[in-house]
């Protein structure tokens, strides 16, 4: 089970400063998860971690800072760099976003050993091409191995579209080889939403499912199981002619990226096939020192987690213009006699009308926000949480 987050700021700080309790032959992998806003990056990060530490909302730009998640499994540590959705200056201005929202994703890429590109296949407007920001990011760091993750496949009614989407987003090439679509097509009509990974070439005997798309190999039955992924490093895109650095001009008519090493299909919200991806990531780890003690789940402070989760609920239940103007002030944060956590937070809004919306008729909205945020905080801290919210006009 993943460790809980410390409820005490000083204790969390101590944990973060603790020397990692690493094994004899530690392995590590730093993973940047990038994608358009709302592709499901934080949801996927939370599922990989096994606890909710990143805020999630249907509204864009819920993640506003660069936070890290830490998965420690046996001798391996995975460090997830959860990044804000890649956006452009114009949109950043529209949502009053901080300057860091524009630079942070690039920052994360600099430290990554592997990049996961997340695409929401349920969005028919955007699913057949990678956003310009994502392409720009990949082309600036062509030396970092990348993996395509198709998310929300459970929502997609017509499963055969997954092949078309995958072909568009990879330009028909994965791991330096042409996508072999024929064998996958034989069973796409009957593949259920539950196991999109059955669109695969893997032979019935191979018990470890890997990426759903087999690459052409000498023997078709080898499929694309995980055992073959361990040598991906060199095989990748062929080291001899690895991906070149593309300028902005090269990207003008580009829809996909032909240098992905694998494709995964999953439903992050329901946790479907997230374990398959996690196993793959653990296998990709390279020998190297751990960065964190194994009791660390995230580098965020308990207060940051609390603020983010309350903000997530405000985003979820209020019209667009309100949440971006709310200021959060924590007035009380203390531990009760039985280990429960008491939190009192004031939400300051600029207008009386916003206050009325936030409280809701008969206090319904604010009590729902407090109840749901409290439950999420219990999940993160693994203790009882009593959360009280007050609304004031600043």
Is 123 a residue whose pLDDT tops 70?
A: yes
Same fold, 9-182+252-287 and 302-393: no
Chain-wide mean pLDDT for the chain?
79
Highest mean pLDDT among 38-42, 138-142, 210-214: 138-142
Q: CA–CA distance from 211 to each of 80, 164, 199, 273, 301 (Å)?
A: 20, 16, 10, 10, 35
- Let me know if 200 is exposed, middle or buried by CB neighbors in 10 A (0-12, 13-18, 19+): buried
96 φ/ψ angles, rounded to the nearest 5 degrees: 45, 45
**In this predicted model, what pLDDT tens digit does every residue of 14-37 receive, in sequence order?**
999 999 999 999 999 999 998 887
Rounded-to-integer distance, Cα 103 and Cα 117, Å: 17
What is the pLDDT, as a whole number, of residue 389? 97
What are the boundaries of each domain within the chain?
9-182+252-287, 302-393
Partners of 348 in beta bridges: 327, 392
Spatial neighbors of 24 by CB under 8 A, at least 6 apart, are: 75
The token pair at 287 is 């020998």
- Pairing mode, if any, of strands 27-35 and 286-287? antiparallel
Mean pLDDT value of segment 331-338: 92
Mean pLDDT value of segment 47-65: 76
Is 306 a residue whose pLDDT tops 70?
A: yes
Share of the chain above pLDDT 70, in %: 73
What is the pLDDT, as a whole number, of residue 237? 34
Rounded-to-integer distance, Cα 129 and Cα 144, Å: 20
pLDDT band per the 50, 70, 90 thresholds, residue 241: very low
Is 195 a residue whose pLDDT tops 50?
A: no
The answer regarding whether domain 9-182+252-287 maps to CATH 3.30.450.70 reads no
**Fold adopted by 302-393:** GMP Synthetase; Chain A, domain 3 (3.30.300)
Q: CA–CA distance from 184 to each of 178, 199, 274, 275, 384 (Å)?
A: 13, 5, 21, 22, 48
What is the pLDDT, as a whole number, of residue 39? 87
Rounded-to-integer distance, Cα 163 and Cα 172, Å: 10
């Amino acid at each position: 089970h993943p460790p809980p987050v410390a409820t005490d700021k000083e204790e969390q700080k101590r944990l973060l400063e603790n020397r990692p309790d690493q094994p004899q032959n530690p392995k590590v992998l730093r993973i940047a998860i990038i994608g358009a806003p709302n592709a499901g990056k934080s949801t996927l990060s939370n599922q990989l971690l096994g606890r909710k530490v990143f805020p999630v909302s249907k509204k864009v730009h819920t993640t506003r800072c660069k936070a890290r998640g830490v998965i420690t499994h046996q001798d391996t540590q995975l460090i997830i760099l959860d990044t804000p959705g890649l956006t452009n200056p114009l949109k950043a201005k529209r949502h009053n976003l901080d300057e860091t929202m524009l630079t942070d994703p690039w920052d994360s890429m600099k430290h990554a050993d592997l990049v996961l590109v997340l695409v929401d296949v349920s969005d028919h407007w955007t699913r057949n091409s990678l956003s310009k920001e994502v392409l720009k990011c990949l082309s600036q760091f062509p030396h970092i191995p990348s993996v395509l993750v198709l998310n929300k496949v459970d929502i997609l009614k017509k499963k055969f579209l997954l092949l078309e989407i995958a072909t568009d987003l990879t330009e028909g090439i994965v791991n330096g080889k042409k996508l072999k679509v024929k064998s996958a097509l034989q069973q796409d009509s009957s593949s259920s939403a539950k196991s999109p990974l059955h669109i695969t070439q893997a032979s019935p005997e191979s018990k470890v499912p890997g990426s759903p798309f087999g690459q052409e190999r000498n023997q078709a039955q080898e499929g694309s199981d995980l055992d073959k992924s361990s040598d991906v490093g060199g095989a990748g895109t062929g080291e001899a002619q690895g991906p070149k650095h593309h300028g902005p001009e090269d990207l003008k008519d580009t829809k996909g990226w032909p240098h992905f090493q694998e494709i995964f299909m999953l439903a992050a919200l329901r946790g479907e096939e997230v374990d398959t991806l996690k196993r793959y990531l653990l296998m990709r780890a390279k020998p190297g020192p751990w960065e964190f003690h194994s009791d660390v789940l995230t580098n965020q402070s308990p207060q940051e987690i609390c603020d983010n989760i309350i903000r997530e609920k405000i985003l979820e239940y209020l019209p667009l213009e309100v949440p971006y103007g709310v200021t959060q002030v924590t007035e009380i944060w203390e531990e009760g006699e039985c280990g429960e956590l008491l939190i009192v937070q004031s939400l300051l809004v600029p207008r009386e009308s916003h206050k009325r919306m936030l409280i809701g008729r008969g206090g319904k909205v604010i009590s729902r926000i407090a109840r749901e945020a409290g439950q999420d905080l219990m999940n993160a801290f693994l203790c009882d949480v009593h959360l009280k919210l007050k609304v004031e006009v600043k």
